[in-house]
Amino acid sequence: MPALREGFVTNVLNPKVALFYVAFLPQFIRPIDQVFEKTFLLVGIHYAMCLIWLTTVTLAGHRATKMLSSRKFRQWLDIAADALFVGLGTRVALSRH
């Protein structure tokens, strides 16, 4: 839980977030709109988009970590690296300088 609290405090105290909302959101609020409600609607949409994006990135990173740490992938990577080095060594051996 401390990491969640630290992330929350960091975001709340981050001036870039406030500047983004002050600079970006007003262009979507018409003079006839209820400013308070429309602002919270836009902030909610932005929050939902960020939540979806960060969840997707987190899940993809977790999946990539599991894949990259698997024994089968490391064996494939070793074979690919060996083939690459043999190919490069052969090319250097056969080149004329």
Tens-level pLDDT at each residue, the chain (97 residues): 788 888 888 888 888 888 888 898 889 889 898 989 998 999 899 989 989 999 999 999 999 999 988 999 999 999 999 999 999 999 999 988 6
Residue pair 73/67 in contact (Cβ under 8 Å)? The answer is yes
Q: What is the pTM of this model?
A: 0.60
Give 25-29's long-range contacts (Cβ < 8 A, gap of 24+).
Answer: none
User: Rounded to an integer, what distance in angstroms lies between the CA atom of residue 15 and that of residue 19?
Assistant: 6
* Cα maximum dimension of the chain: 77
